[in-house]
Every structure is written in C-alpha cells, then in structure tokens.
Amino acid sequence: MSIQWFPGHMHLTRKAITERVKEIDVVIEMLDARLPGSSANPLLAELTAGRPTLKVVNKQDMADPARTALWLDYYNAQPLTRAIPLDAGDTAPARAIVAACHGLAPLRGGMVKPMRVLICGIPNVGKSTLINTLKGRRAAKTGDEAGVTRTEARISLADDFYLYDTPGMLWPRIVVPETGFNLAASGAVGRNAYDDQEVALELLDKLKLAYAPELEARYKLGLSVDQIIMAKDEDLLEAIGRKRSALATGGRVDWQKTAELVIADFRSNAIGRATLETPEVFLGWLKAGQSADAERQSRKQARKPAKRRKR
C-alpha cells in the first residue's frame, strides 16, 4: 500500500513558502522525535535550499533518548544546520529557539535588521503548540488532527523577531513506503489516506524489534522477548486483540478495533518511549525508495509513445 495525502491547501502552502523564503533569515523545521527522518519534508528542503535551518526535534519526551541523540548528531553534522530536542509544551527549551536562530543568523537583530523566521513542519507535529508556548498565549490553533492550521500568519515574538507560521505540509509523492506508514502511525496524514490494519501491522513490525519488553509490559501477552521478536505481525495483533477483549461476534478478534487500539497507544505514548527509525535505517529506506522510484519513472517513460518526426 502506498500512503499519499496532499490536500488542496498544501498546494497553497507550497506557493506561500516559495514567496516568503525570499526574505527569510532562518527556517525552522519541526520534526517528530519518534520519526525524525520520515517527518523531514524533502519538498521543504528543496524550497528553502541555502537557508540556515534549525531542526527542532519535537516530542522528545515521547521518543527513545538514545535514538534522539543519534538524530541530533546526524543533523548537527550537516552544513548551515542546527538541531535541538524539544517538548513543545516546555517553556524554557522553547525559548532556546530564539537564541538558536540568532546563532544561525548572527547579523540579524535589532529594529534595523529584525530576525525573520519561517516555521514549517508536517501536520500534527506540534508546531502550533510551540508557537503558543513561545508567545505565551493562544496565538495559533492546536489539535490532535492533521491539517488544523490552514493559513500563513505572522507572529511577533519580540520587537525585532518575526515568526511566520505556515500550515502543516507533506509532499506530493512519498517514495519511501516506510515513511508513509510512519507518518500514518503518528497522525500526520488524514484518516482517509491509509488502512488502520496495515499501519498497525507495520508499526508492530518496527516496535517488536526494538521494544519487545515494552510491548509485553503494555499488553501482558505472556511472551518472552525472543518470542515477540520472532512472532508474525498478524499473530501479535491477534494476541493483543484477544488480551484486550477487542472481539467481534463469535469470539473472533476485531482486527479494525485492535488496529485502532495499537495506533492510539503509540500516539499517546502508552507503549512507552519509542522511535521508529535511526539515521542509518532511514537512509537505507531512502536509498531503496529512490531507486525503486527511478525504476518506475524509467518504465513509465518507456511506455510513452515516441513522437513522430515532422517531415
């Protein structure tokens, strides 16, 4: 299954970013600490190429600390880039963003050269919550559903610091299948874009390898770590459904209800602090996805009828 979700307002966001970036000093991209690679927008990287970028690895309190450290090292090694971890609801770290922006653009500041910052991110990454924390009041709408912010807004954090908020934006074509599943598991795409059962199975496939003890602690399956790791994803989902009494008529497991339960537990952190990817793993997915996409494009091009030469 290929997960794609690019509603009409995202086309408008793309156009707005293209225009706004011409006068921007620093770009802030908010990432989900549970899926830092999957939540990094390649379209945004293309639109803002050459601009200093602050990667805010948000929801770090829900992610695996060891894997978060790997991602911070990965992004901090890139040119014109700084990465910091953050829990958007925490006031003190949120204020550190202002200092980080000045570090990336030291010549900006003061009334003559005010700092102009564009903040972007995928839907439901916590951007609006962060803005409200920075502002100290409800300056932006928040919600646990993708696509809450729909229009660009300028927010003044100080007399010489302007923050331009944009709606959450994905990219038109997700070429890495694992990225699509991770985004769906996190709630970054609309419900009509994916199948809950497929997403739950992919989610369990990742969680069982790195967080088998956490799965056992949450669902009390009576299985050892090795048994959980070796189990088929379908068997794990069925076992969870039976343990949590998610049953349909006749005592059969209600797969849809169980899938929704697993996804909700991941999103609420009920399973525990978990990160679905490391830089090394993600780069492997990316390479494979780009290679497969190149092959698809090549086949598509080959199927096009040759243009007749003019006589």
Amino acid 83: pLDDT:
97
What pLDDT is recorded for position 49? 87
DSSP labels, the chain: -------HHHHHHHHHHHHHGGG-SEEEEEEETTSTTTTS-HHHHHHTTTS-EEEEEE-GGGS-HHHHHHHHHHHHTSTTEEEEEE-TT-HHHHHHHHHHHHHHSTT-BTTTB-EEEEEEE-TTSSHHHHHHHHHTS--S---SSTT---S-EEEEEETTEEEEE------S----HHHHHHHHHHT-S-GGGS-HHHHHHHHHHHHHHH-HHHHHHHH-----HHHHHHS-HHHHHHHHHHHTT-B-GGG-B-HHHHHHHHHHHHHTTSS-S--S--HHHHHHHHHHHHHHHHHHHHHHHHHSPPPPPP-
246 and 118, same domain (yes or no)? no
User: How large a percentage of the chain has pLDDT more than 90?
Assistant: 59
pLDDT one-digit tens code per residue, 125-157: 988 888 888 777 555 554 444 444 445 678 888
User: Which segment of 146-155, 204-213, 219-228, 265-274 scores lowest on mean pLDDT?
Assistant: 146-155
Residues 14, 155 within the same domain = yes
Share of the chain above pLDDT 70, in %: 88
The pLDDT tens digits of the residues spanning 36-76 come to: 999 999 888 888 888 999 999 999 999 999 999 999 999 99
pLDDT of residue 100: 92
Does residue 182 form part of some domain? no
Q: Please indicate, yes or no, if residue 295 is contained in any of the structural domains.
A: no
Does residue 37 lie in a domain region? yes
Residues 36, 135 within the same domain:
yes
Considering the domain architecture, whether residues 48 and 124 belong to the same structural domain is answered as yes
In a domain, 249, yes or no: yes
Residues 48 and 147 in one domain: yes
Residue 1 clears pLDDT 70, i.e. is over it: no
Is 214 within the bounds of a domain? Answer: yes
- The per-residue pLDDT for 142 is 46
Residue 212 has pLDDT above 90, yes or no: yes
**Same domain as 136, residue 18:** yes
- The pLDDT, as a whole number, for residue 16 is 75
Question: What pLDDT score was predicted for residue 309?
Answer: 56
Q: Is residue 305 part of a domain?
A: no
Q: What CATH number is associated with residue 232?
A: 1.10.1580.10
Residues 38, 138, single domain; the answer is yes
133: in domain: yes
* Residue 187, domain member (yes or no): no
Domain that residue 256 falls in: 195-286
Q: How many distinct structural domains can be found in the chain?
A: 2
Same domain, 210 and 82: no
Claim to verify: residue 153 and residue 232 sit in the same structural domain: no
Q: Are residues 247 and 159 in the same domain?
A: no
CATH number at residue 14: 3.40.50.300
More confident residue, 226 or 13: 226
Shared domain check, 151 and 75: yes
Span 155-210, pLDDT tens digits: 888 888 999 988 878 777 888 999 999 999 999 988 888 999 999 999 999 999 99
pLDDT tens, residue by residue, 5-42:
665 566 677 777 887 888 899 999 999 999 999 999 98
Domain final residue pick, 165, 185, 216:
165
The answer to whether residues 137 and 209 belong to one domain is no
0.75 exceeded by pTM: yes
